[in-house]
Amino acid sequence: MARCLKVAVLAPMRQVFDYHAPAGPDADELIGCRVRVPFGKGSRLGVIVEVGEASLSAERIKNVTELIDQTPLLPGSLLALALWAADYYCHPPGEVLAAVFPLELRRGEAPRESLEDAWVATAAGQQALSNGTRLGVRQAHVLGLAAGEALRASGLSTLPFDARRVLRELTERQWLCAVRVPPVAAIGTESLEAFLDLNDAQALACAAVLEAADRYRTYLLEGITGSGKTEVYLHLARAMQAGGRQTLVLIPEIGLSEQLVRRFQRRFGSQVALLHSDLSDRERALVWERCRVGEVAILIGTRSALWTPLSNLGLVIVDEEHDASFKQQEGFRYSARDIAVMRARQDGIPVVLGSATPSLESESNVRRGKYTRLRLPERTAGAIPPVLRGLDVRSLPLTGGLSDALCKAMDQVLTEGQQVLLFLNRRGYAPLVMCHACGWIARCERCDARLVLHRESGRLSCHHCGAGRNLARQPVTCCPQPMPMTLGVGTEQVEEALNQRFPGRRILRIDRDSMRRKGQFEAACAAVLAGEVDILLGTQMLAKGHDFPEVTLVGIVDADSRLFATDFRAAERFAQLVIQVAGRAGRGSKPGLVLIQTHHPDHPVLRTVLESDYPDFVALGLAEREAAGLPPFTAMAVIRAEAGQQALPTEFLSGIRRATKSLVAAEVRLAGPVPATMERRAGKFRAVLMVSAERRGALADALLKILKAIEESPLRHRVRWHIDVDPEEAG
Ligand code: ADP
Ligand code: ZN
């Protein structure tokens, strides 16, 4: 049989397709190039992934319509990584590759030449500056900058405000003119911030990584917040840069990693590039290309930055490696942390996973000798670690969720001029609204969920599908004389209670409702740091990233909802959260106190977290997982299905189970199908089938059989289904 090109079409297709190679270039050199190919009635974009034996007779194979790239855009190792990931996560290779390319390249456009957008002041602009024309503060600032050297797009992030609107205004008035300039290769070191001298533990950690910098090895850099992990990253990146090698830094969320990003920018200037979801498609494509051709020394980005070609990658860093947001939860469900480790392995380079509270997966890898632990034992400034204490609130009066004991502790801290941080992971006013007259409860019509009262916006809304209603237009009309009342508390209600209990104190609420606009969260954090806030109240957003040295008391308003969450990772998430929140508090000479309100002071997880260290919790958590046969002691995947009809998903999954049960290895456990934790969501009924095995290979083999059974299932077009390998939740 003839040799032909195997093309992964950028579409949800599990197989690759055969095409004739164009005459001329050596086919093997084309692996990784984009092509346009005839497909069905039209044409599609695809990537050549292999050259091999044709699986059809030569006359049935079509020619490629267009060879878009003359040389591959993806280095062979990145292509191999994408195909490996497609296999590992049972996802169509074309869709995985679609996630690798920025949108413009996915559409078949040529790579953006690596010119950078910039702005220069026009003559009229210069005049406006000098002749006293009235300008806004921001306008004057931006115009002033552009009147000197060209103001580069890459420099905008160092401005203290979002400059895009100002740039538009000034361009409209023809005071600024857009130009494209070559990116700066390096900037003078004199303007850059100096590196700190490492303490002993930091120096040891750096040396360990750098000693074996030409080999693959995964390091777990463990140290509490403030122990100096970021400084280690900075030193490692500098060593890489000095050797002409690139560093890839993965972070959970851009908004929450501001401080880390700024520190890299202050040290490395324009050698740093950022990739995250707030960028436009154009900006992404530009950064991608600059990285590909090697103009960037350090790339910092969220999940998808993992897929950026870096011609001379020398080190991968994953900060806050335990963070759940490294796992993509829709479409191509992959763990950026895990693939980052694989990437380092393929490239033969070190990878550093940093965390104050490592995931149980990474902990178990250390125990099995697969990862090397590096520990930063103390806070750099020699500060005292926070004290954690449970606050038994059983039968105590609670106002807006707050006990008197907590409020008294707050009084004391506030009197001393320090700040308080309260944590409650529930937005809105109250999570349950019912009618005292008839017992009616406000429920979502499309989900098995209750509607949450949002008083500020006057809405009852569903936190799962977004549906809801406006109370002004559709008041509660469940019975002739409705008497609506609420149960439970959300952040809005705590804020109300705080305003009553602490009049005159400056209270700031931080959640997705109060921080809708871009830049608002950063401004809020700046206000806290500037001492303009006394009491800070917020959700998950507060638990990560930002350090607040003047906060000396942290109150966790409701630990119970977390302790009793059903999922197998609930305990791990709880312990991480408490320790992360605690890590935000107290610095320098002021120790922090963390008070955790609970109705279950004897809960084993809570007690372990309170009475001992994270390592003790890890031991407990791992023992429980092992006894229950859960990850990381087993490899797990879940097959989820959903449909408008309640019986269908279960029927579909039962069929899959029946068809595969006798084919899979004896060690493979199939559990379910069972209804999902929330069976109905956004109008669809959902069910899950769990698959687990002690050996990864047995799971992979079972998944192949399951995929085959799905392809043969008569119900497959009547349900939506997906496979989630290494799921965050089993439900
Ligand atoms: P982490 O990333 O673990 O939270 P950081 O690297 O941010 O820790 O360090 C915490 C604080 O200590 C920062 O303010 C940092 O500037 C300072 N710091 C870190 N390393 C050193 C060092 N070797 N000498 C002096 N200060 C340091
Ligand atoms: Zn809903």
Q: How crowded is residue 229: how many other Cβ atoms within 10 Å of its Cβ?
A: 25
Look at residue 190 and tell me whether its pLDDT is greater than 50: no
Distance from residue 678's CA to the centre of ligand 2 (Å): 10
Report pLDDT for 380. 53
State how beta strands 535-538 and 419-423 pair: parallel
Q: Report which residue type is found at 394.
A: R
pLDDT, tens digit, for every residue of 689-713? Answer: 999 999 999 999 999 999 999 999 9
Residue nearest to atom 9 of ligand 1 (CA): 228
The CATH superfamily label for domain 3-106 reads PriA, 3(prime) DNA-binding domain (3.40.1440.60)
Ligand nearest to the CA of 226: 1
**Which residue ranges have their beta carbon within 6 Å of ligand 1?**
196-199, 202, 223, 225-231, 380
Residue 455 CA to its chain's centroid (Å)? 29
State percent of the chain over pLDDT 70.
Answer: 96
Q: How crowded is residue 731: how many other Cβ atoms within 10 Å of its Cβ?
A: 17
Ligand 1 pocket: which of 231, 238, 355, 378 to mutate (most atoms within 8 A of CB): 231
Ligand nearest to the CA of 544: 1
Distance from residue 449's CA to the centre of ligand 2 (Å): 6
The atom of ligand 1 lying closest to the CA of 199 is 23
Min mean pLDDT across 111-115, 175-179, 538-542 is at 111-115
Which structure tokens are listed for 129?
């500056």
Residue nearest to atom 15 of ligand 1 (CA): 228
Surrounding residues of ion ligand 2, Cβ less than 5 A: 444, 446-447, 462, 464-465, 467
Distance from residue 198's CA to the centre of ligand 1 (Å): 9
pLDDT, tens digit, for every residue of 331-389? Answer: 999 999 999 999 999 999 999 999 989 999 999 999 999 999 999 986 655 556 788 89
Look at residue 189 and tell me whether its pLDDT is greater than 60: no
Q: How confident is the model at residue 188 (pLDDT cuts 50, 70, 90)?
A: very low
Report pLDDT for 186. 42
Please, what is the average pLDDT of the chain? 88
The atom of ligand 1 lying closest to the CA of 356 is 3
Q: How far is CA 13 from CA 95, 701, 702, in A?
A: 8, 20, 20
Contact indicator for 552, 592 with CB cutoff of 8 Å: yes
For 671, the enclosing helix (H) or strand (E) is: strand 669-681
Residue nearest to atom 8 of ligand 1 (CA): 228
Q: Starting at the earlier edge strand, list the strands of the sheet with 507-510.
A: 387-392, 593-598, 551-556, 419-423, 535-538, 507-510
Contact indicator for 74, 47 with CB cutoff of 8 Å: yes
The atom of ligand 1 lying closest to the CA of 587 is 11
The CATH superfamily label for domain 189-381 reads P-loop containing nucleotide triphosphate hydrolases (3.40.50.300)
Q: Please state the rounded mean pLDDT for residues 606-625.
A: 87
Q: Please state the rounded mean pLDDT for residues 541-556.
A: 80
Report pLDDT for 637. 96
On the 0-12 / 13-18 / 19+ scale of CB atoms within 10 A, 628 is exposed
Residue nearest to atom 6 of ligand 1 (CA): 228
Report pLDDT for 191. 56
Q: How far is CA 213 from CA 16, 197, 298, in A?
A: 37, 21, 16
The atom of ligand 1 lying closest to the CA of 381 is 12
d(CA 391, CA 600): 9
Ligand nearest to the CA of 225: 1
Q: Please state the rounded mean pLDDT for residues 247-270.
A: 87
The atom of ligand 1 lying closest to the CA of 583 is 4
d(CA 303, CA 726): 16
Contact indicator for 637, 703 with CB cutoff of 8 Å: yes
Q: How crowded is residue 475: how many other Cβ atoms within 10 Å of its Cβ?
A: 10
Q: Which CATH number fits domain 635-725: 2.70.98.60, 3.30.590.10, 3.30.70.600, 3.40.50.9100?
A: 3.30.70.600
Min mean pLDDT across 75-79, 323-327, 475-479 is at 475-479
User: Residues 97, 103, 109, CA angle at the centre, nearest 5°?
Assistant: 100
Distance from residue 578's CA to the centre of ligand 2 (Å): 29
Ligand 1 pocket: which of 197, 198, 225, 230 to mutate (most atoms within 8 A of CB): 230
Identify whether 38 is preceded by a cis peptide bond (ω within 30 of 0).
Answer: no
The atom of ligand 1 lying closest to the CA of 225 is 4
d(CA 244, CA 36): 36
Higher-pLDDT residue of 201, 540: 201
Q: How confident is the model at residue 253 (pLDDT cuts 50, 70, 90)?
A: confident
- Domains 189-381 and 635-725 belong to one CATH topology: no
Report pLDDT for 656. 94
Min mean pLDDT across 152-161, 195-204, 494-503 is at 152-161
Domain boundaries, the chain: 3-106, 116-181, 189-381, 383-428+490-623, 432-487, 635-725
Name the fold adopted by 383-428+490-623: Rossmann fold (3.40.50)
Q: How confident is the model at residue 183 (pLDDT cuts 50, 70, 90)?
A: low
Please spell the DSSP secondary structure of 271-295, one letter per residue: GEEEE-TTS-HHHHHHHHHHHHTT-
The DSSP 8-state label assigned to residue 130 in this structure reads H
Contact indicator for 557, 402 with CB cutoff of 8 Å: yes
Look at residue 211 and tell me whether its pLDDT is greater than 90: yes
Contact indicator for 420, 414 with CB cutoff of 8 Å: yes
Q: Please state the rounded mean pLDDT for residues 118-146.
A: 84
Distance from residue 220's CA to the centre of ligand 1 (Å): 18
Residue nearest to atom 11 of ligand 1 (CA): 226
Ligand nearest to the CA of 465: 2
State percent of the chain over pLDDT 90.
Answer: 53
User: Residues 321, 327, 328, CA angle at the centre, nearest 5°?
Assistant: 150
Residue 276 CA to its chain's centroid (Å)? 10
Identify whether 350 is preceded by a cis peptide bond (ω within 30 of 0).
Answer: no
Q: How confident is the model at residue 187 (pLDDT cuts 50, 70, 90)?
A: very low
- HSE-CB at 309 with a 13 A cutoff on CA atoms is 24
Q: Please state the rounded mean pLDDT for residues 393-410.
A: 92
Distance from residue 254's CA to the centre of ligand 2 (Å): 28
Contact indicator for 252, 245 with CB cutoff of 8 Å: no
pTM assigned to the model: 0.86
Report pLDDT for 381. 56
End-to-end, the C-alpha distance of the chain in Å comes to 47
Distance from residue 443's CA to the centre of ligand 2 (Å): 8
Q: How confident is the model at residue 122 (pLDDT cuts 50, 70, 90)?
A: confident
Look at residue 570 and tell me whether its pLDDT is greater than 70: yes
Higher-pLDDT residue of 337, 191: 337
Ligand nearest to the CA of 257: 1
d(CA 470, CA 460): 7
Q: How crowded is residue 147: how many other Cβ atoms within 10 Å of its Cβ?
A: 18
